[in-house]
């Protein structure tokens, strides 16, 4: 049991590290060349870290691995062929992969009966993965409905969003994280109904997630303390 907990802590820790690397290095991809390849490498890192965190049962591992390989493969193919249709497929697969990993990790964390390192790492990873999922959703919405977002009063130029220009995804990541944390500076705004509803939904999810996870962690801490007291009294 201890070995299993250690493995899970390592897996969730690696996932959290990969997400943090993506978040902090992604802005640099907008300043360097080749831009798309740097962004793709960062996304690939997170996708396969999600596979590493999903090694609970064979079918879970196979599903996560299939989605990660499919998303990464089509993504690299889209960059090489400069194809928006393949890039669109890649981001949809990446979104499905992230949502699948969110479900797997959330299930493990919420089933914990005491506060452990893997529970903390897993909870933080899920919170940030929600931000990444909405980042992709915002990019897809802007691609389908140009003008859904404005930046400092100007429409976002998303003509190459899904292929050679990762700078717009940096803006979507920024917008997603400040929406998830309900900071909302107002420099990027959702202007169309679908984009606005997605932003509102993300804000609600961010608040509910924090409430549920914090309540769960506090509950696990109380149960652990009661169990310890009961053992010591015996």
- The closest of 179, 183, 187 to 205, measured between CA atoms, is 179
- The closest of 10, 61, 67 to 44, measured between CA atoms, is 67
Mean pLDDT by 10 residues, the chain (234 residues): 52 90 82 66 87 82 91 86 84 93 88 75 91 92 86 69 64 92 85 94 91 75 62 60
pLDDT at 2 (0 to 100) = 44
Which DSSP state fits 82?
Answer: T
Which DSSP state fits 58?
Answer: H
pLDDT digits (tens, 9 = 90+) for 37-69: 777 788 888 988 888 887 778 888 899 999 999
pLDDT at 177 (0 to 100) = 94
Beta strand 188-190 pairing with 154-155: unpaired
3-state secondary structure of 149: strand
- The closest of 201, 200, 202, 195 to 147, measured between CA atoms, is 195
Report helix angle 35-52 to 58-81, nearest 10. Answer: 170
* Structure-token match 């400069």, residue found: 82
pTM: 0.86
């Amino acid at each position: 049991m201890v070995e299993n907990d250690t493995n899970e802590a390592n897996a969730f820790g690696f996932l959290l590290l990969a997400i943090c690397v993506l978040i902090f290095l992604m802005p640099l991809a907008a300043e360097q060349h080749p831009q798309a390849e740097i962004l793709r490498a960062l996304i690939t890192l997170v996708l396969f870290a999600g596979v590493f965190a999903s090694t609970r049962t064979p079918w879970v591992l196979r599903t996560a691995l299939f989605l990660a390989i499919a998303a990464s493969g089509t993504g690299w193919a889209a960059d090489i062929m400069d194809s928006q249709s393949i890039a669109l497929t890649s981001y949809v697969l990446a979104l499905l992969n992230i949502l699948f990993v969110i479900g797997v990790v959330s299930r493990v964390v919420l089933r914990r009966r005491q506060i452990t390192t893997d529970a903390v790492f897993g909870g933080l990873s899920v919170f940030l993965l929600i931000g990444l999922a909405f980042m992709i959703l915002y990019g897809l919405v802007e691609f389908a409905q140009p003008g859904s977002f404005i930046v400092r009063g100007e429409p976002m130029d998303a003509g190459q969003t899904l292929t050679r220009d990762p700078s717009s995804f940096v803006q979507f990541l920024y917008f997603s994280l400040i929406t998830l944390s309900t900071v909302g500076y107002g420099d990027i705004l959702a202007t169309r109904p679908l984009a606005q509803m997605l932003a509102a939904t993300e804000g609600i999810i961010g608040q509910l997630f924090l409430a549920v996870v914090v309540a769960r962690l506090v509950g696990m801490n109380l149960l652990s303390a009661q169990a310890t007291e009961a053992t010591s009294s015996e």
